[in-house]
Structure 1
Amino acid sequence: MTNSTDSEDACDCGSGLRAVRCCAQSAFVPPFAEHAFADDLTRSVAAAEADDTDLALALCRQVLDRAPDRIDALSLFARLLAATGPVAAQVAVLLRLQALSPNDTAATQELALQLLRLGRLEDAEIQARNAVRLAPDQALSHVLLANVLTQADKPHAGEFHYSRALEIGPRDAITLANLAWCLKLQGRLDEARALYAEATDLDPSVGLTWLGRAQTEEAGRDLALAAEYLAQAKALDPTLETGAFEAALLTRQGAHEAALALLDESERRRGSPNFDELLARARILDRLGRYDEAFAAAVAGKAQVRSHGYAYAAAEAARRTAQLFDFFTAGRLRMLPRIRTPAPGAQPLFTVGAPRSGTTLVEQILSAHPDVVAGDELGLMEPIVASMPARFDSPVAYPAALAELWMGDRRDGLEELRDDYLRRARLRLPPMAGERFFTDKTPFNETHLGLIGLMFPDAPLVHLVRHPLDIVLSMTFNNLTHGYNCSTDVETAALHLARVLGLVAHYRSEMALRYLPVRYEDLVGDLEGNVRRLLAFVGLDFDARCLRFDTNERYARTASYAQVTEKLYDRSVYRYRSYLRHLQPALEILEPTIEALGYDV
């Protein structure tokens, strides 16, 4: 049996069909008479049932070459491709099948799963949400959406759908472990521990579940138990990628050389390092004072990050920045309405700043106060901004969409935005009983300082300022996606930081803000004095517990989570000096910003 497809016109997706009968099909092709392919389709089904996949595929391709919109043939073909690949071909076939049969639940679920395997999170989320719409009573629909949401850094929503899956279906170990991971990502470590224990009781043979337990215990500071669970995970599944985590665990125990040796062994075993391990190596070498080697490892790690398709969205960042400069001017802002009615309940306390500027430290300090709940990186301003054109029935995007508030029937628009922010926040926050504030320390939220000031004119805006070269250096040593993926390169990190800090200066010159800059270096040099100043600005009485931030048991789900469990140290202050020759490209970009902030080099 031979395929009906010539190699020169085969579809690029890898389905084995001719392009004109697959992804390049531009119009409906009338099928041949039923008898022309019915026998081939019957034989294809029989071959598939007999596990003769090659024959089943060949026959199925012959059918689809003559009847490319035959739904039963497409459905069988998609199932065969699921076993043989490639994934891109299966996705292409499933998309065609879905276009012909949009209410096919199984095809929609499979499409969501395969898009997730390809890392196409936005497309996977669309399909997974549709699966829940089509089959809200099927556990699989909820598991798929929960998986997508968790990977898209929406663990609060993921938690709901994993819980719903457990209500509908059996209480299986994998779903329990996935729900536990969602809770761990939210800092709810005790709940995560209980679910992981239940999962390993139900099925103790899954190495990934034990790895999740290890990571949860490491976050909860029980390093010995984390090491025990990690050993169990590796024994059950030696293929697990544990090098970066195990190195971090050893580093927290002061075993830097052992961590390096472990990374060396991991690289030898795999044949090459991955970017997580390269960046882990860079951080360890930095602690050992081997600065040139550390920077080389960080640069190599970022090169690998870029090779995975991550790059600074320079044009988009420049366009958004220019639009914000243009709209947020005193003359335009005078025409906008103001918030007229207060919102009930706890209010946001915005701790803004670049990644690695000290925002996690300040949130740890503030959340030690009994009147403050830690919200962590809520990430709510971008969805608020994205919803604005539809919300205001505007033909233009943010920030120009704010011009709709000049209309007589949109005068309550800021209250609408504010209330939507609070609604979204309360879905993510733990129940609050008496607390006056919750923190939002989303990195680069200062990009939205103007809109935040309009939505929450009385909210405290605490801006963490740190020497720009220290920020760029620290971003280089960590895998971060904030700021349009700016940290994938030293120069792009510097460029985006300069843009954002310039925007902050513009906001402050054009509008009144309840704004307090806090220098990281000052905080480290005089903790109590600056904590008193910070609490007074927020409107809180001084509480000595804020000085003992390292005893705050909450888990900060950022790259700084381990550092804020230590007592205050100054080893990161002006750390850039050891790397100055490597940071020359960043210095050329940041010199005006450094001078404007009152720093020198």
Structure 2
Amino acid sequence: MSPVNAATVPTASLDTALAHASRLLATDPALAGEQAAEIIKAVGPHPMALLILGASHRARGDLEGALAILQPLADAQTNSALTHLELGIALGKAGQGDRALAALRRAVALKPDLPQAWRSLGDHLMALDDPEGADAAYANHLRYSTRDPNLLAAANALHEQRIAEAEALLREHLTRAPTDVAAIRMLAEVAMRLGRNEDAENLLARSLQLAPGFHAARQNYALVLHRSNKPAEALQQIDQLLLHEADNPGYLNLKAVVLCRVGDYEPAIALYSRILQVYPQHPRIWMSYGHALKTAGHQDRAIAAYRRSLQLEPGAGEVWWSLANLKTFRFSAADLAVMQRELERPGIASENRQHLEFAIGKALEDEGRYEDSFRHYRSGNDLRRATLSYSANDTSARVARIKRSYTREFFASRSGSGAQAGDPVFIVGLPRAGSTLLEQILSSHSAVEGTMELPEITSITRELRGRGEAGNAMPYHDVLESMGADALRALGERYLQHTRIQRKTDAPFFIDKMPNNFLHIGLIQLMLPNARIIDARRHPLACCFSGYKQHFARGQSFTYGLDDIGRYYADYVELMAHFDEVLPGRVHRVIYEQMVDDTETQVRLLLDHCGLPFEESCLRFFENTRAVRTASSEQVRRPIYREGVDHWRNFDPWLDPLKEALGPVLDTYPAVPEFPLAKAAS
């Protein structure tokens, strides 16, 4: 095709030439650029021709040339949404994420119905660890990317959180057009918002089967797989996305998150480092980078990352708490002054206030100002407790239900069921009871790998609850009672298969250190009867108050009230006493104070229970360089010390509600009081 001489044609023909050049961008960006250059040569610096020329440079990978055209054009055309969109895309490709965000936000502010702008903005917000903002942007992408009236109505309903209406519209549409991949993807979004992850997975898999190049659906698929605790499958999808767009910041951040989930911290750290080159001014990425560095044992680098985050956002409570949560870190007087100033700032967000209260409590505790420290801990806990719906009565009822169901006769009738592998070593108990120390000791043995707190048991119980009639959720124990030997074996094999990605060595044993799994010992016994189970127990006041001082990232809702945590500890002791009765010798208990006082004896007993020979390295556990995720990450990298054993006594004057809730469990520790026998379920 010969170049257009726009000087010799009327305005209508110029518009036609511009439209033709614009269409060429999708199929032949080089030719589109040539056409735009000819138009500019003929009529001067026409804004649309300049935009096409800049987009052509961007599409051909000439980002320097693209920005040399697009930035001055955006400065001159301040109200041109398309110019700011193209500039935002080019800046993102050039690794200038902060400027890209500003341009894309300007584009959607000028013209909200630009689907590509919303999609690009969502990718940037995903990279910035802003899932809520990203979800909103992706919802707008869905909303504006369709021109079908039926889909547009469904997209609007979805955007406005009218979920039931959106679902009805989409299902009606799909009866007429069952292969409409856009509608299938939108229905998957409905399922995700309703927490029906399995439905979302199936829908997105179908969408990709019909349209393998549907990258937006593949990104959704990777995300729902991650949320469903299927990291291996999620990584496969992310890697396919990265083959298409290797520098997409949203894909890179999601991969880093999943890699951290499976314990691959060094490659995750490298990804965060790449992302920070694009977004050097964003405090949340510095915080995520710090989290990964801390877990991998790079404490100095982690502190530097947290400090950089705070330089950018001094009121970021979660970052201050992340420093406090290193446990061995000490705040300076200047740090404390900044935290107190930020706490008093008008309009402070509740989440920041919560974290700051806990961090200030830690700083004052380190200074020996215990009454002031407790006041801040209590304020932080009260704020957090107000956001939760935890019921201690529900937990007590749950424990009573478990005791009634899992009797000696129940287990005897299912003897021989389950997968017979003995690979897993479960460490259970309460948070802050010394479980990380036990994991560090055991993982220092040549035959044992530490894989940290694994969510697989929780995933299995969630799936079992969903097997009720007509899909209605029910106590998973009811489902478990009806399962035969083959089904129980399949559960055990599923557990082993799904945790395989967490294992990085050929050690024959691995550790699952999810404390709350004490509630699922019945399930563990049925599906993995040869797994080892270790109960980590610590003095009730020491354990409970240590939990009360902790702002957990998620879960552990019982820790934010002294009465709640005391009752939870008592329920835990009662349930473990029950399993000691019905499964004698099955659980090996380690008393934290005894481990501190006579480490070698307790380590030998622990190894004996696991069927392992003694190794000297288990006494030098602090030399183990493995990644540690929990709040004790820095403490277990030091030799055992008595300093923390009785530290709760500094706060004794304010712990009466806790003591009352613990009742006889406190009086008899480390022995166990008599508990009433449960009546077997009929």
TM bucket normalised to smaller: 0.7 to 0.9
SS of structure 1 residue aligned to 2:536: strand
Q: 1:462 aligns with which of 490, 511, 534?
A: 534
Over 3 Å counting, the alpha-carbon distance change for 1:481 and 1:133 in structure 2 is: farther
Over 3 Å counting, the alpha-carbon distance change for 1:251 and 1:565 in structure 2 is: same
Does residue 254 of the first structure (1) align with residue 330 of the second (2)?
Answer: yes
Over 3 Å counting, the alpha-carbon distance change for 1:152 and 1:263 in structure 2 is: farther
**Aligned-pair distance for 1:517?**
0.9
Identity among equivalent positions (%) equals 27
SS of structure 1 residue aligned to 2:670: coil
CA–CA distance in structure 1, aligned partners of residues 344 and 496 of structure 2: 50
Q: 2:259 aligns with which of 183, 196, 203?
A: 183
**Aligned-pair distance for 1:567?**
2.9
Does residue 430 of the first structure (1) align with residue 491 of the second (2)?
Answer: no
Q: 1:347 aligns with which of 412, 420, 423?
A: 423
In terms of Rg, which structure is larger?
2
Q: 2:404 aligns with which of 326, 332, 346?
A: 326
Partner of 2:655: 583
Q: 1:277 aligns with which of 352, 356, 359?
A: 356
Partner of 1:444: 516
Which deviates further from its counterpart, 219-228 or 537-546? 219-228
Partner of 1:530: 602
Partner of 2:642: 570
**Aligned-pair distance for 1:293?**
2.1
CA–CA distance in structure 2, aligned partners of residues 167 and 173 of structure 1: 13
Render the CA deviation track for 1:270-300: whole Å, top value 9, x for unaligned: 6434212222222232233222222222222
**Aligned-pair distance for 1:369?**
1.1
Over 3 Å counting, the alpha-carbon distance change for 1:536 and 1:254 in structure 2 is: same
Structure 2 residue identity aligned to 1:122: G
CA–CA distance in structure 1, aligned partners of residues 316 and 224 of structure 2: 21
TM-score (norm 2): 0.67
- Alpha-carbon contact 1:470-1:574 (below 8 Å) kept: yes
**Aligned-pair distance for 1:465?**
1.2
TM-score (norm 1): 0.75
CA–CA distance in structure 1, aligned partners of residues 295 and 419 of structure 2: 41
Q: 1:399 aligns with which of 463, 477, 481?
A: 477
- Alpha-carbon contact 2:536-2:589 (below 8 Å) kept: yes
Does residue 220 of the first structure (1) align with residue 293 of the second (2)?
Answer: no
CA–CA distance in structure 1, aligned partners of residues 613 and 263 of structure 2: 26
- Alpha-carbon contact 2:607-2:614 (below 8 Å) kept: yes
Partner of 1:561: 633
SS of structure 2 residue aligned to 1:351: strand
Structure 2 residue identity aligned to 1:190: E
Structure 2 residue identity aligned to 1:450: G
RMSD value, Cα: 3.9
**Aligned-pair distance for 1:521?**
0.7
CA–CA distance in structure 2, aligned partners of residues 248 and 149 of structure 1: 33
Over 3 Å counting, the alpha-carbon distance change for 1:109 and 1:578 in structure 2 is: farther
Over 3 Å counting, the alpha-carbon distance change for 1:227 and 1:481 in structure 2 is: closer
Which deviates further from its counterpart, 414-423 or 157-166? 157-166
Partner of 1:550: 622
- Alpha-carbon contact 2:623-2:637 (below 8 Å) kept: yes
- Alpha-carbon contact 1:339-1:414 (below 8 Å) kept: yes
Q: 1:477 aligns with which of 528, 549, 558?
A: 549
**Aligned-pair distance for 1:366?**
0.7
Over 3 Å counting, the alpha-carbon distance change for 1:76 and 1:235 in structure 2 is: farther
CA–CA distance in structure 2, aligned partners of residues 115 and 431 of structure 1: 34
- Alpha-carbon contact 1:364-1:549 (below 8 Å) kept: yes
Partner of 1:130: 203
Over 3 Å counting, the alpha-carbon distance change for 1:597 and 1:213 in structure 2 is: same
Over 3 Å counting, the alpha-carbon distance change for 1:77 and 1:311 in structure 2 is: same
- Alpha-carbon contact 2:622-2:638 (below 8 Å) kept: yes
Does residue 421 of the first structure (1) align with residue 495 of the second (2)?
Answer: yes
- Alpha-carbon contact 1:185-1:557 (below 8 Å) kept: no
Partner of 1:30: none
Partner of 1:10: none
Partner of 2:4: none
Structure 1 residue identity aligned to 2:404: D
- Alpha-carbon contact 1:174-1:199 (below 8 Å) kept: no
Q: 2:376 aligns with which of 290, 297, 303?
A: 297
Does residue 453 of the first structure (1) align with residue 533 of the second (2)?
Answer: no
- Alpha-carbon contact 2:317-2:354 (below 8 Å) kept: no
CA–CA distance in structure 1, aligned partners of residues 587 and 325 of structure 2: 38
Which deviates further from its counterpart, 106-115 or 347-356? 106-115
**Aligned-pair distance for 1:180?**
1.8
SS of structure 1 residue aligned to 2:427: strand
SS of structure 2 residue aligned to 1:274: helix
**Aligned-pair distance for 1:316?**
4.3
CA–CA distance in structure 2, aligned partners of residues 393 and 77 of structure 1: 33
CA–CA distance in structure 2, aligned partners of residues 538 and 479 of structure 1: 33
**Aligned-pair distance for 1:464?**
0.8
Gaps of 5+ in 2: 1-107, 114-145, 673-682
SS of structure 2 residue aligned to 1:532: helix
**Aligned-pair distance for 1:362?**
0.5
Render the CA deviation track for 1:499-526: whole Å, top value 9, x for unaligned: 1221111121123343211101111122
- Alpha-carbon contact 1:458-1:514 (below 8 Å) kept: no
Aligned residue-pair number: 521
Structure 1 residue identity aligned to 2:271: L
Partner of 2:413: 335
**Aligned-pair distance for 1:364?**
1.0
